[in-house]
Amino acid sequence: TKVIRLASRPQGLPTAAQFQFDTLDLPATGAGQVLLKTRYVSVDPYMRGRMNEGKSYVPPFEVGAPLAGGVVAEVIESQHEALPVGSVVVGNLPWQEYILSDGKGLNRIPTDKAPVSYFLGLLGMPGLTAYFGLLDICQPKAGETVVVSGAAGAVGLIVGQLAKIQGARVIGTAGSDEKVAYLRQLGFDEAINYKTTPDIAQALAAAAPAGVDCYFDNVGGAITDAVYDLLNKHARIALCGQISSYNDTETPVGPRPETKLLKTSARLQGFIVGDYFSRWPEGVQQLTEWYSQGKLQTEETITEGFDQIPAAFLGLFKGDNTGKAIVKVS
């Protein structure tokens, strides 16, 4: 089988040189094992952090070892009772075309509820990130103003729709006019192209005349600095991601937000979706229900071909994707 390994640790923005294509001979499927054929591979911003050395909330990838992440695969050979041939599973799996597994950590997914790739997006990790980050940490109320940065991405577009379901006024920031148009079509009240807006602080202030009650932060940097100037009393901030600094080689510096949090009695909470692991089934059930009722939509940017996985991953940092970035392998 083909496999993609981490060739070296990137300094700054990763390049194609960090990815080593190789082949691997898989042994015959043994007792208790399944042979999986990879169908969809998820590429996610957090993988950038795993390419660095050092402790984080997930251990780093090892140089020379296969890269790995969310994968949807089909069982094509089985000696495992609970996973017959034809089952479709999702799991944290290596970037390989074929994978031998003992079934541990694999979740069988239904094929009749939604496209199976949605279990890497709306009905998977990004959807749950939006669900718990917004509903548990931000807790928006009807009539409140919610800002979400990275709004046209996998997590962001779900956050905005969930905030609309709660009756909030929703403002999103994203990096192209097409994305902004898409957000408006999804029901966002305001959407701002942060790349072309001459003054992001002014644009956000104009879009949020009543101030900001909730901020779901996916990107950090200048957008976040601007939102902190608009916080209302008792604002809630879910610190989900800081993609604008993932490739920085030095610690970013900027305005210090502490007095703004102090003056507004705001609550800033970092979180990772894994914190909510015990509540994942509840989240998947609720997201599936809203999706089936037509209350939630999603979008995918699908790149075709196993060999395109690195390019799709690198595209995250250029804003190539609208909605979930996925690679279709087979």
Residues that bind ligand NDP (CB under 6 A): 44-46, 126, 129, 150, 152-156, 174-176, 179, 218-219, 221, 240-241, 243-244, 271-273, 316-317, 319, 321, 325
Residues near 149 by beta carbon (within 8 Å), at least 6 away in sequence: 156, 172, 173, 194, 215, 216, 217, 218, 219, 220, 223, 224, 227
Q: What are φ and ψ of residue 244, in 5° steps?
A: -65, -15
State the maximum Cα–Cα separation within the chain, in Å, rounded to a whole number.
64
Per DSSP, the residues of 131-180 read HHIIIIII---TT-EEEESSTTBHHHHHHHHHHHHTT-EEEEEESSHHHH
Minimum distance from residue 80 beta carbon to ligand NDP (Å): 29
Cβ-based nearer residue to ligand NDP, 34 or 230: 230
Minimum distance from residue 105 beta carbon to ligand NDP (Å): 18
Cβ-based nearer residue to ligand NDP, 34 or 226: 226
Minimum distance from residue 2 beta carbon to ligand NDP (Å): 24
Reduced to 3 states (helix: H, G, I; strand: E, B; else coil), residue 237 is strand
Task: Provide Rg for the chain, Cα atoms.
Answer: 20
Cβ-based nearer residue to ligand NDP, 23 or 249: 249
Cβ-based nearer residue to ligand NDP, 83 or 174: 174
**What residue number has its CB nearest to ligand NDP?**
153
Minimum distance from residue 275 beta carbon to ligand NDP (Å): 8
Minimum distance from residue 274 beta carbon to ligand NDP (Å): 7
The secondary structure of residue 61, as a DSSP letter, is P
310/308 Cα distance (integer angstroms): 6
Pairing of strands 267-270, 231-239: parallel
Cβ-based nearer residue to ligand NDP, 27 or 59: 59
Q: Is 329:320 a contact under the CB 8 Å cutoff?
A: no
Minimum distance from residue 221 beta carbon to ligand NDP (Å): 6
Cβ-based nearer residue to ligand NDP, 29 or 218: 218
Cβ-based nearer residue to ligand NDP, 83 or 154: 154
Cα dihedral 173/286/75/100 (nearest 10)? 60
Minimum distance from residue 159 beta carbon to ligand NDP (Å): 9
